[in-house]
Each structure stands twice: as C-alpha cells, then as structure tokens.
A and B are shown apart, each in its own frame.
Chain A
Amino acid sequence: MSATLDRADFAGLVRDELGIDIDETELDRPFDALEGWDSVHLLTLLSLLEKETGAPLSLPDFLDAQSLASIYELVTR
C-alpha cells in the first residue's frame, strides 16, 4: 500500500503515538509480550496507518496478526 513507510518509521509511529517503547528490531515480539498492548492500541494504530498510507484498512483483516511485524506486513504488502 505504501512505499514510504519503512520498518523504522513504523516502529517510530508505535513508539511516539502509542507510547509503547519498541524499536524496529523488536517488531516480531508477540503481542502477549508487549507490555500493555490491547485492542484499543490496535484501533489507534490502524487509524494512524490509514492516515500515513492514505489507504482504507479493515480491522477484521488484522485480527489474526500476532505481532506488530504482522501488521506492518499486512499494511505494506
């Protein structure tokens, strides 16, 4: 969807906008291992990604994602 959002940008978005302290090397950590991660973060992140990429997203497409890396891949493929 977007050629401009690389993994570092994505990690920066998560860090700055969601307040989750993570860098691009840690995106594969499962959500269970992310302190404080919940469905509201997912909603907020997808809303931000819609703005960043300019492409509409559908939340059900992301329900099987197990990590931030999975979300990144779904958004950028």
Chain B
Amino acid sequence: MVDLHPDRTVRVLSAGTALPGPPVDTEALAERFGMDRLWRQWVDTFIGTRTRHLAVDLATGEPRESLADLATTAAGAALVRAGVSAQDIDVVVLGSATPDTLMPATVNVVADRLRIDGIPTFQLQSGCSGAVQTFDVATALLATGRHRTALVIGGDVIAKHYDVHADLRSLPPELLVNYVLFGDGAGAAVLTAEPGHDDAPIVRTVLTRLAGLDREPGQVLRWYGTADRDRADTPANEDYKAIEELVPELAAEVTDELLDDLGWERDEITYLLPPQLSVTMTEKIVKRLDLPLAEEITVVGETGNNGNALLFFQLERLLDTMSAPSRAVAVAIESSKWIRSGLALERDGGN
C-alpha cells in the first residue's frame, strides 16, 4: 500500500453482519437430502462445521434473501454502531463472488437502499480474500486524503448453486463438499481517517498478493447466458485437495510477511483471525501459524463458510472484546486463482 499521507491513520469504527434464516445444522441437511448417519459423522469429523445459514428455503428451494438484502442489513448495522450517517460515507467498496446480478453492481443497489449517492462506489469480484481487498482499496483511498470515511462490505449468497433437490449420494466429492462447507451472509465495516476516534483500532497494514502463477484454480464459479445456458460444465466446483494442501502454506506466508513488515514478534500478537474454510481446516492452519499467545477468533463453525462475509463476522467479534493495548492479525486465502491476503490492527493505550 502506498501511504501518500503517513499522518492519515485509518481506523475501524465498527462492524455489522447479517445472516439469513435460522441456523441449519447437519442433522437438518441430512434429513433434507436423505443422507445417513455415516455421512453426518463424516461432516462432523472432517468438516466440523456445525451450522450454516442459507438464503434459500431448504424445503422448497425458493430463494429468500438476496445479497443486496443481507449487505444492506449488515451495512446499516455497521453505520449505527459507528455512530455515522449514510451521508458521512464518501466511498463504498463491496466484495463478492456472487453478486445478485452482473449489472447493476450489487454495491450500487445497496448504496441506493442506504440512501448513499453522489460518491464513488466500487465492487470487487472476489473470493475469500475479498474482505481484505475491500480494506486494501478503502484504506488506500482514505490515505490519499480524497476521502474521509469508507463503508466496506463483503458477502455471498449461494442460493443459485444450492439445489435442494440434488441427490448428494450421486455427487462427486468436489461437488458434495459445497453442500456442507458453504453458507450465506454479509458483513460490513466503517473505516475512517477522521481524527477523534483514538479508541478505535488502527489499520496498521493490509496486504493482498496474487499467488496464482502457473497454478490451476482451486475453485471455479461459472455464469451462463442465453446462448450457453445448457452447457454441461458444473456451475460450481472445487479442487478440495489442492485447497487442503495450499491454503495452510499461503496462510503461513501471509502471516510471516505481515509480521516482517510491521516488525512484530509472534508472541506479540493478541488476536488471530485465521482463514475460515471449515472448522477442521482452520484448526490445522492455526497450529501451523504458531502465534503462541494469540486468542483465536473463529466463526465458521456457526456461520458456515460465507466467503466474502467471514472476516466481518470475525471483526465484529474482535471489536466486541479487543483490549488495549493489543494487536490483531487477520489472514484470508482465496483459492480460486489463489490470492493470499491479510491485515493487522492495533489498539493503542491501556485501560
């Protein structure tokens, strides 16, 4: 990040989140899809995710909430908590892998609903690194001095890929995992370069690095139009073996780079917000990151993997409890064309 105005400290004022519907536990999924006890035991043992939230009616397949619905709720909550009005926001950045429509961009639908207008808005086509990417873009814009307060949003809704009538027994593993790993949700945060918020955590650094050279995508989401709507390619699939192998490695690289950049020691990290693929994957990654004193903030067991929203759920929990002084490191890895990303927050002073 090029810091054009080193004196323009960017702080996180608040976070807000939104989840659709009631939590859907593995028992309910098994019942819906006619899966047996072995399957439930496999989910519990190898995925670990206990519940997820779906923007689709599990009984009928009817879509309920859109990404714009969830993002508007999350952003509204973040604005209220920050004590700022929609008119105080002078730039909006939204990240999603699953916009409601390609046009209009969902960010602008959300802005409209929030009565935000006449300012720059950006939408990033992004995977699990999307929340960090929104921070990267927003903090860079705030640092230029052209903007003062940013609303950053991330979320995903997989309803169109969630076929409640699917026969999970006949699905190959790379499609089966989608039904238990993922969930829907949205999150948002308010960032500001305005003075007078000394208690709010400072964004010390943000990094996003494409790591896709010569690597096949670990995750693919396709979209179709009138001419190719009957294509045989599956709309969504993932190379879960590549993900299991590569995500921990990239997460370790991000953590090392963040700490090196800031000159922070491993035992100086108070909170770790690790990648949230699944409970079992996150456990493996946390061990590998080896931050001995860091309190782990993990949400995926309850939220499911809701992609671009995850970091905001973790941030919301962090902001509720973050002591002063303290340091937090967040890491997110996008496994489509492989992006490693992370950010570091710090609260100054003491109580």
Contact = CB atoms under 8 A, between A and B. Distances in A.
Interface of A: 36, 38-40, 42-43, 46-47, 50, 56-60, 63
A47 B45 contact: no
A58 B39 CA distance: 10
A57 B173 CA distance: 21
Given A59-B45, A60-B45, A63-B45, A43 B241 contact: no
Contact of A57 (B38, B46, B177): B38
Contacts of A36: 241
B38 A40 contact: no
Contacts of B241: 36, 38
Contacts of A60: 41, 45
Nearest to B39: A43
A60 B177 CA distance: 19
B38 A47 contact: yes
Given A38-B173, A47-B36, A56-B37, 11 more contacts: A38-B241, A39-B42, A39-B46, A40-B173, A43-B39, A47-B38, A47-B39, A58-B37, A59-B38, A59-B42, A63-B45
Number of chain B interface residues as a range: 10 to 19
Nearest to B177: A40
A39 B45 contact: yes
B176 interface: yes
6 tightest A-B CB contacts, nearest first: A59-B41, A40-B173, A39-B46, A43-B42, A46-B38, A59-B38
Interface of B: 36-39, 41-42, 45-46, 173, 176-177, 241
Contacts of B177: 40
16 contacts: A39-B42, A39-B45, A39-B46, A40-B42, A40-B173, A40-B176, A40-B177, A43-B38, A46-B38, A50-B38, A57-B38, A58-B41, A59-B42, A60-B41, A60-B45, A63-B45
Nearest to B169: A47
Give the interface centre of A39, A57, A60 by most chain B CB atoms within 10 Å: A39
A47 to B, nearest CB: 6
A58 to B, nearest CB: 7
Give the interface centre of B39, B45, B176, B241 by most chain A CB atoms within 10 Å: B45
A27 to B, nearest CB: 21
Contacts of A57: 38
Contacts of A46: 38
Give the interface centre of B38, B46, B176 by most chain A CB atoms within 10 Å: B38
Nearest to A36: B241
Contacts of A38: 173, 241
A47 B38 CA distance: 7
Nearest to A44: B173
Nearest to A40: B173
